Copies of this chain bind each other. A is one copy, B any other.
Amino acid sequence: MKDYAPLLRRTKLFSGIGDDDIRSMLNCLNAEVRQYRKGEYAFRQGEYIRNLMLLAEGRLHIQKEDYWGNLNILNEIRPGEMFGEAYIVPNSGALMNDVVAAEESTVLFFDTGRILTVCPSACPFHTRLIQNMFYTIADKNKGLVQKLSYMSQRSTREKLLSYLSDEAKRQNSSSFSIPFNRQQLADFLSVDRSAMSNELGRLRDEGMLDFHKNEFTLYC
């Protein structure tokens, strides 16, 4: 098995753990490597997952096909990200989505039982791993709740205001920049770009905010 320590060292899951410790932990966690060709399915809806996965190389799409066959890409997994963590809960049921390799990908499989059950003295960094895993999923959680709070607004205007309002809070200033261009912001908020552009213009005309490119300023 190739040495994945240098790569894993930079992931959230293994952050703060040295290369040598990572190597011994990979053994402890029963790590396995699997390769997927572009377009190949890593998992299919209906399967039962027992491992925690980490994408080492490539790109994966979490996607969903509904009852009538419509395809929908929910998320893109990038190298260093873990996934499948929500399905290692006992009785969590079958996987609701498909996981497909958007390009040639390498995935590491970890034994979740070995992660959550601490092996007393063998792995001094096991506690750190558990912390990291918890922090990662907690962080994901926070982002999801945040996004949900924008998306649950009914109108494009309200979605915009709630998102921008939050960013102002987060950056602690009424002037701030956002990490999206217009199309990305529209996709993030699940609204039409042109309608959103319209709404932004209207909000500016009403004196509630101002913007240039991705720099925004809110006015009370």
Q: Chain A interface (Cβ within 8 Å of chain B)? A: 45-46, 64, 66-68, 70, 72, 74-75, 85-90, 92-94, 96, 116-118, 120, 127, 130-131, 133-135, 137-142, 144-149, 151-154, 161-162, 164-166, 168-170, 190-192, 208, 218, 220
Q: Is B86's CB under 8 angstroms from A142's CB?
A: yes
Asked whether A170 lies within 8 Å of B96 as measured between CB atoms, the reply is yes
- Assembly CA distance A78 to B89 (angstroms): 22
Query: Contact at B190–A85, with CB atoms within 8 Å?
Result: no
7 contacts between A and B (CB under 8 A): A64-B149, A67-B164, A85-B141, A87-B138, A118-B127, A140-B141, A141-B141
Q: Contact check: which of B74, B142, B162, B166 meets A87 at CB < 8 Å?
A: B142
Chain B residues with Cβ below 8 Å from A218 are 67
Which residue of chain B has the shortest Cβ distance to A146 in the bound complex? B96
The answer to whether B137 touches A169, judged by C-beta atoms less than 8 angstroms apart, is: no
Q: Which residue of B lies closest to A86 (CB)?
A: B142
- Contact, CB under 8 Å: A148 / B147: yes
User: 9 tightest A-B contacts by CB?
Assistant: A86-B142, A67-B165, A144-B144, A66-B165, A152-B190, A151-B151, A89-B135, A116-B131, A86-B138
A66 with B161: CB separation less than 8 A: yes
Contacts of A86 in B (CB 8 A): 138-139, 141-142, 145
Instruction: Point out which of A139, A152, A190 has the most chain B C-beta atoms below 10 A from its C-beta.
Output: A152
| A192 to B154 Cα, complex, angstroms | 9
Q: If the complex has contacts A68-B208, A141-B137, are A169 and B89 also in contact, measured as CB distance less than 8 A?
A: no
Is A148 touching B151 in the complex (CB atoms < 8 A)? yes
Q: Which residues of B contact A168 (CB under 8 A)?
A: 67
A48 to B213, CA, bound (A): 32
**By the criterion CB–CB under 8 Å, are B67 and A139 in contact?**
no
